[in-house]
Amino acid sequence: MQPYLNVLQYYPFLLKGLMFTIEISLIGMVFGTVIGIVSALALLSPFRAVRWLGILYLDVFRSTPVLVQFIWVYYALPVVSGLSLTPIVAASIVLSLYSGSFHTETFRAGILSIGRGQHEAAQALGMRSYKVMFRIILPQATVRMLPTYAGTLITLIKDSALASTISVPELLHQGSTVASYTMSPLAALMVVGVMYFGLTYPVSRGVDALHARLRV
């Protein structure tokens, strides 16, 4: 018990880490969603060049490890671009682009799952194409995409732990530090594990509930 009590003395330190984890996850969620919508629309665009850009983005971010994306943006990008990024900015960029690549597939599949008839009916009523998309297609697609979308949020929270490798003081980073201070790695990392679980488990229960409710 003693190691755990020692670890818990550092609770303000761990809570600070938890706040950073929540912060970068939220940033990743908001920007990732926007990026996902834009690139899903790009993939469905009538212009070939736009579609290719979308495919390029998707393939790059889905065929490299997130860890490598973190390392590349933080250590390699500043060398060529000349602008040095703070760890938090670098982490936010990576988490947004990375989760955006998952959302892209989700949104595209969701949009395509709405039958052509809906499209044609709305156009027959004289609606403009952006209006068809935002008033008719997306609201219906949203419901179907919700479980997959929420699933990506769990992945996002978990992968935000990789920001520790570029020294963002988030939960895992703080936990590793406490592990060294207290010299009880098991206790410190277990406490961190419980904190992550407290964050992700409710979301994952929500995903299951959504799946069950939306099953047709």
Partner 1 sequence: MYHWDWSVIVQFWPLFVAGLIKTVEVVTLTMATALVTGLLVAIARTSKHVVLRQLARWYIEVFRNVPLLLQLYIMYRATPLDSFWAGYVALTLNLTAFLAEVYRSGLTSIGKGQWEGAQSLGMKEGHVLRRIIIPQAVRRVVPPLGTFWVSLFRDSAMVAYIGVAELTHAALQVSIQTYRPFEAFTALAVAYMVLTYPQARLVAWLHEKFRVEE
Q: Which tokens is 27 given?
A: 């940033």
Q: How far is the CB of 125 from partner 1 (least distance, A)?
A: 32
Which one, 59 or 120, has the nearer CB to partner 1?
A: 59
Q: How far is the CB of 90 from partner 1 (least distance, A)?
A: 13
Q: How far is the CB of 212 from partner 1 (least distance, A)?
A: 13
Distance CA 56, CA 95 (A): 18
Q: In the complex, which residues of this chain contact partner 1 (CB under 8 A)? A: 59-60, 62-69, 71-72, 75-76, 79-80, 154, 158-162, 164-165, 172, 175-176, 179, 185-186, 189-190, 192-193, 196-197, 200-201, 204
| Nearest alpha carbon to residue 1 among 187, 192, 125 | 187
Which one, 53 or 133, has the nearer CB to partner 1?
A: 53
Which one, 145 or 162, has the nearer CB to partner 1?
A: 162
Which one, 80 or 124, has the nearer CB to partner 1?
A: 80
Distance CA 6, CA 199 (A): 23
Please name the residues in contact with 138: beta carbons below 8 A apart, sequence gap of 6 or more. Answer: 111
Residue 102, Cα to own-chain centre: how many angstroms? Answer: 8
Give the residue ranges of DSSP H helices in the chain: 2-8, 11-43, 48-63, 66-71, 77-81, 87-113, 116-124, 129-131, 138-159, 171-182, 185-214
Q: How far is the CB of 85 from partner 1 (least distance, A)?
A: 13
Which one, 75 or 134, has the nearer CB to partner 1?
A: 75
